[in-house]
Amino acid sequence: MAKLPVFSADTVSGDLEFKLNRDYNALIKKVIKRLSTKKRSPVYTGFFASSWKAQSVPIKPTDRVETHAPWSTIKKQINMGQTRSARRALSKSLAEVKPRFEVRSNFSIDKSVFIGNKAKYSIYALESGKVQLFVQGELGQLIKDTMKDKGTTFIGGEAGIGGFGQTSGQSYIRYTEY
């Protein structure tokens, strides 16, 4: 018979915190990935959609499109269009969305995380309303889907603690006295 792991209040607490942090980090990555698209961010050159970042301090919008390739070149090419419709057509064909910042995976649920945009002109880009629609619409469901219970329930009592659930199609029940 297989030896069952010993559970204690500390083990359960640590396991729960680990799972919450794992899901929290997954959520942050998903938010950045979704914001870094033409559907959820306004796109002219693609620089704004490529400049989303998550970190533990507020994000200052300091990066200028003119100093970052390939977007600086794309902006010059688009601005060569003689008419507004020509510039719009060039923007649709040339814009490039390529996330610039890697999302680290060591955020903790007990500390704030700031998600923001490094593009200097970000306050103006937000006027399009795409980001607000994401925050007010999809984000709530994304949080629910990512932060939900993954199938393990722990029950504690005076005599011991146990867990039951399902992982990869395998059901299990564990109980240990303490």
29: left (phi over 0), alpha (psi -120 to 50) or beta: alpha
Q: Domain tally for the chain?
A: 1
pLDDT tens-digit series, residues 117-154: 999 999 999 999 999 999 999 999 999 999 987 655 44
The Cα angle at residue 177 between residues 173 and 178, in degrees rounded to 5: 135
Would 108 be classed as within a structural domain? Answer: yes
Q: Under DSSP, is residue 92 helix (H, G, I), strand (E, B) or coil?
A: helix
Would 104 be classed as within a structural domain? Answer: yes
Would 91 be classed as within a structural domain? Answer: yes
Indicate the pTM of the whole model: 0.76
Domain that holds residue 37: 27-149
